[in-house]
Amino acid sequence: MPVDERQRLEALTRSGLLDTAPEPDFDDIVRLAAESCGTPIALISLLDRERQWFKANVGLEGVEETDRNISFCTHAIEGESLFLVEDARADVRFATNPLVQGFPFIRFYAGAPIQTEDGYNLGTLCVIDPRPRTLSDSQRHILLGLKRQVELLLRLRAQMQKMREHNEELERTQEKMRLLNATLEAEMRERQRVETRLREKQALLRSILTHIPYSVFWKDRNSAYLGANPQFARDMGVASPAELLGKTDLELPLPRELAEKYRQDDAAVMESGVPRLSFEEPLRLLGAKEDSWVLTSKVPLKNEDGSVRGMVGIYADISERRRQEAALREAKSLLERYAASLEAQVREAHERNNYLMENSGEAVFMLHEDGRVLHVNPVAERLLGISEERLRGTVLESLCLENERETLRQALRELLACGTVRLENQGLRSATGERVVLSITASLQVTGTQRRMLLVGRDVTEKWRLEQQFIQNERLASMGALAAGIAHEINNPTAYVLSNLTYLQECRDELEATLSAMPGLPPRVGETLAEVKDILSESLTGGRRIRDIVRDMRFFSHTAGEEVAPVDLHACLDVVLRMAHAELKHTARVEKHYASVLPLVPASEGRLSQVLLNLVINAAHAMRSGTPEHNHLRVSTGVEGDWVRIDIADTGTGIPPEVLPHIFEPFFTTKPAGAGTGLGLSISQSIIQKMGGEIRVRSELGRGTTFVLLLPVNGRGTSEPVHD
């Protein structure tokens, strides 16, 4: 950058050339420069702070500017003579320049600095050729001459600009003169208007003083009256304000002590020069039955030099207002005593409510009208396993399972509308994820503008669980009885069908033996006998299969109920797998890994079969049907100390981690509506726990799930089973 770069840029700005439209005078010069020097490109380039901008352009149509840091003109403005580059590729300053390596592929450059009258180089008149070359002496003289023409145009533009500015200044001066004349005329009119307005105000002031319901007076430095309004004259018992002129308070029908006090107040205001505003004082005329009270203000009257020449006073009779204020104070006192009594009653009610909340045997929730928890009692904290501090500010419906939130939300809306509501079997989720069931009675508490919702909930979780389990047990018992009846009805016809098929097979064998001894037996007879043999064999196999299924159904639904007896777990598992065969054959391959020796376990065989069948069917549903070659159901048994262990593992989709803690909750299911009740695992866990055992589960998404059943060998384990 040149040393005087800041001044140069200011001169460029003053020229007014940057970013202006093309002008014929400059365009003619660059065309003449290109023709005279025999180059395809000629430019008038102006160098701004970060760019070079083309005022006139021949040969670079569509290009208005380039970066300054790669421009040739940056070098050209450093001197005052012609800057010449005959072959840019051979010049170390420009060999790698983007304008040399790329468009417009500059090889030859000649630039003459364009200088202002005060000596600043604004840019160049330059010619460019994509071929290396030089300029003749005449071409150089022409280029320099054209450069001077550009400078002449710049000076002419500057002179024209100065003339325009001078003309504008003259116009502004003339406008100021016109405005000044208009202002003087306006001031004269305003003065006339003010004088008229002043006379109107004086008339208005006299009218106000005459008619306002306040007493006004003004005095000189000796407290002698200079004037007053008619109201003050009437207060003093005289016919007109003129009768007061020149008199003092001592000469009016006032008690002497009050007259002296008024004079002292006047003197204090006039000596200090400070107004005394809105103070109450008595006014008692001689012969009056009682004092009047007035609200008085006194203000000093000052000359133009600020000296005090008197004072003006105004007062209003406030006797009636003081009587009303006294009555109001009495009423306020009564109201305050009544409010204190009400506050004590409210405080007592709050204390009683707090005592009931803290000592109630039922869960109590105090909610804001938007459903946020404000306060809970210890019973609610214990049921949910969540402290009041954590519950405070929580929206109560967020503690519900998703499918129960709308019920609570609707009930709270009804509570705000009606004042009371009852809600049966409302579920809330505890800190451990368990469902706590409450029977809720709610009421709306209104204190002033505040509305609170009080919910009292009785814990009916166990009752509800027993009711649901009883309903499920009744359903299962009905299904078991139905299955037993169906099995009994199928068993008899199956028995005689198998008997007849066995008899037919024996007859076919005897017939075949008899015919084989006869000579000349037709081949077709032998083939028919073979086909009949195969048909009878398949029929017997199918019949036995029906018989086994019926036997398994009778075994599963037998009426032993909850009776506990030694159970062969392997036989029980075989029955369950046969019953689930139809569900498994299109889904997975079954792998059985039974322990070589497994002790009998005291259990309810029907109930245990119910649990095992539920786990096997769940495993089948977790795997994709139609691909048994890729899915495996592994059933294994073993002994761990005093415990017998059964593992049922599938290669299904697995259970998400956020779902796993809830799978044993009643009515929790991930199946679509209508595809499951969500009670199977809950009931299964209850059955196993009643047998002294437990169910464990581990799962991995995309890898499968394993359910582990642990049953005590002697009805009660004496040591902890191995933990997975």
More confident residue, 525 or 242: 242
Say if residue 720's pLDDT is above 70: no
More confident residue, 304 or 594: 594
Mean pLDDT lowest among 92-96, 316-320, 638-642, 707-711: 316-320
Question: What length does the chain have?
Answer: 724
Count of CA atoms in the C-beta half-sphere (13 A) of 418: 10
Phi-psi region of 296 (alpha: psi -120 to 50; beta: other; left: phi over 0): beta
Residue 560 confidence (pLDDT): 44
Helices marked H in 277-436 — which ranges?
A: 319-359, 378-384, 388-391, 405-418
Q: Report the percent of the chain where pLDDT is more than 90.
A: 20
Mean pLDDT lowest among 432-436, 556-560, 580-584: 556-560
The confidence band for 559, taking pLDDT boundaries of 50, 70 and 90, is very low
pTM of the predicted protein model: 0.33
The confidence band for 123, taking pLDDT boundaries of 50, 70 and 90, is very high
Mean pLDDT lowest among 362-376, 488-502, 639-653: 488-502
The confidence band for 357, taking pLDDT boundaries of 50, 70 and 90, is low
More confident residue, 480 or 702: 702
Of the ranges 205-209, 279-283, 299-303, 525-529, the best mean pLDDT one: 299-303
Query: What average pLDDT does the segment 657-663 reach?
Result: 80
Query: What is the C-alpha to C-alpha distance for residues 82 and 111, in angstroms, rounded to an integer?
Result: 6
Query: What average pLDDT does the segment 105-134 reach?
Result: 92
Query: What is the C-alpha to C-alpha distance for residues 521 and 528, in angstroms, rounded to an integer?
Result: 12
- Report whether the peptide linkage leading into residue 104 is cis, meaning its omega lies within 30 degrees of zero: yes
Of the ranges 59-63, 110-114, 168-172, 580-584, the best mean pLDDT one: 110-114
Say if residue 109's pLDDT is above 90: yes
Among 369, 346, 357, smallest CA distance to 452 is for 369
Query: What average pLDDT does the segment 456-479 reach?
Result: 71
Query: What is the C-alpha to C-alpha distance for residues 534 and 478, in angstroms, rounded to an integer?
Result: 41
Query: What average pLDDT does the segment 246-264 reach?
Result: 87
Query: What is the C-alpha to C-alpha distance for residues 75 and 89, in angstroms, rounded to an integer?
Result: 16
pLDDT tens sequence across 297-311:
999 988 888 899 899
Query: What average pLDDT does the segment 190-205 reach?
Result: 84
pLDDT tens sequence across 511-520:
877 777 777 6
Provide long-range contacts, Cβ within 8 A and 24+ apart, for 516-519: none
Contact 231, 216 (CB under 8 A): yes
Mean pLDDT lowest among 50-59, 404-413, 473-482, 668-677: 668-677
Residue 674 confidence (pLDDT): 44
Residue 395: DSSP 8-state:
B
pLDDT tens sequence across 596-641:
989 999 988 878 888 898 898 888 888 877 778 888 999 999 999 8
pLDDT tens sequence across 684-713:
887 888 888 999 999 988 889 999 999 998
How would you classify the pairing of strands 435-447 and 420-429? antiparallel
The confidence band for 136, taking pLDDT boundaries of 50, 70 and 90, is very high
More confident residue, 381 or 717: 381
CA 527 to chain centre: 83
Of the ranges 39-53, 474-488, 648-662, the best mean pLDDT one: 39-53
Arithmetic mean of pLDDT over the chain: 83
Count of CA atoms in the C-beta half-sphere (13 A) of 509: 8
User: 3-state SS of the chain: helix, strand, coil percent to 5?
Assistant: 50, 25, 30
Say if residue 557's pLDDT is above 60: no
Provide the 3-class DSSP secondary structure of residue 192. helix
Q: How is residue 493 written in tokens?
A: 């016809």
Residue 58 confidence (pLDDT): 93
Residue 715 confidence (pLDDT): 63
Query: What is the C-alpha to C-alpha distance for residues 237 and 240, in angstroms, rounded to an integer?
Result: 9
